[in-house]
């Protein structure tokens, strides 16, 4: 399976190129984005983050000082603004109260310990915690989301129970714990799904379908993909 996943990764990378995830200039911006993008399109999240930047609110102290109601108004475009405002405040409160408001103070913690800490925070579940660990804190944790599961199911790569932990284990038990690999792989799967694997069962137009189903090897089908993508 390592070889198979390796082939898939290489094929996706050749097709899409590096994704340069996560978009965000600072670690706090990545963390804020991870919370705001819960069940929400990234486009709407960008608007909310732009608002925060314009008001100089992408700062732990500033967010901690701001009221829930005020923050909700600023992040309105990202949807679920009342719950997300509460969730952002929850994270910032922990950082402020327990880590002197400095994200760098999280660096001394082990990954497993840090994951437990994040999961105890109101509004941070499995995917958000792992997105923060991987994309903001550079820890080798594989992020699972709806796309990841759809990708595995559509291409017949996985037959587990589909729970978050089981899907995550599937990747982490078959791949070396490399932060860049996990970063790029997840982003590439998202890219593939957003363009081709939009539903279950597999989209027939997926350029990698035959490769993934084992009928072919190498990068067949990629040329078509590149043509469509460059246009």
Q: Which residues bind DNA (CB under 7 A)?
A: 21-23, 33-34, 37-44, 47, 76-77, 79-84, 121-129, 131, 135, 145-147, 190, 194, 198
Gap between the Cα atoms of 66 and 73, Å rounded: 11
| Closer of 20 and 215 to DNA (Cβ) | 20
| Closer of 82 and 224 to DNA (Cβ) | 82
In angstroms, give the least distance from the CB of 216 to DNA: 27
| Closer of 149 and 209 to DNA (Cβ) | 149
In angstroms, give the least distance from the CB of 217 to DNA: 30
Report the SS3 class of residue 124. coil
| Closer of 120 and 216 to DNA (Cβ) | 120
* Helices 164-174 and 146-154, axial angle in degrees (round to 10): 70
CB 124 within 8 A of CB 116: no
In angstroms, give the least distance from the CB of 2 to DNA: 25
In angstroms, give the least distance from the CB of 218 to DNA: 28
Question: What's the Cα-to-Cα distance from 170 to each of 10, 32, 159, 174, 210, rounded to whole Å?
Answer: 18, 28, 10, 6, 21
| Closer of 17 and 214 to DNA (Cβ) | 17
CA angle at residue 29 from 88 to 138, to 5 degrees? 105
In angstroms, give the least distance from the CB of 122 to DNA: 5
Gap between the Cα atoms of 121 and 45, Å rounded: 21
């Amino acid at each position: 399976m390592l070889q198979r996943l390796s082939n898939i990764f290489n094929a996706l990378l050749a097709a899409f190129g590096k994704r340069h995830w996560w978009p965000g200039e600072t670690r706090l911006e990545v963390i804020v984005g991870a919370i705001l993008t819960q069940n929400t399109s990234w486009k709407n999240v960008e608007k909310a983050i732009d608002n925060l930047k314009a008001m100089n609110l992408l700062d732990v102290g500033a967010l901690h000082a701001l009221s829930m109601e005020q923050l909700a108004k600023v992040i309105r475009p990202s949807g679920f603004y009342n719950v997300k405002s509460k969730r952002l405040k929850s994270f910032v409160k922990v950082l402020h109260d327990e880590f002197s408001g400095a994200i760098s103070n999280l660096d001394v913690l082990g990954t497993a310990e840090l994951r437990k800490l994040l999961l105890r925070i109101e509004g941070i579940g499995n995917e958000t915690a792992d997105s923060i660990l991987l994309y903001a804190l550079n820890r080798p944790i594989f992020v699972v989301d709806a796309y990841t599961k759809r990708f595995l199911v559509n291409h017949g790569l996985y037959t587990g129970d589909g729970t978050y932990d089981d899907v995550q284990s599937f990747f982490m038990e078959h791949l070396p714990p490399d932060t860049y690999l996990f970063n790029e792989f997840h982003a590439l799967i998202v890219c593939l799904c957003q363009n081709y694997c939009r539903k279950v069962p597999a989209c027939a137009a997926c350029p990698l379908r035959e490769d993934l189903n084992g009928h072919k090897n190498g990068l067949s089908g990629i040329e078509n993909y590149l043509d469509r993508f460059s246009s």
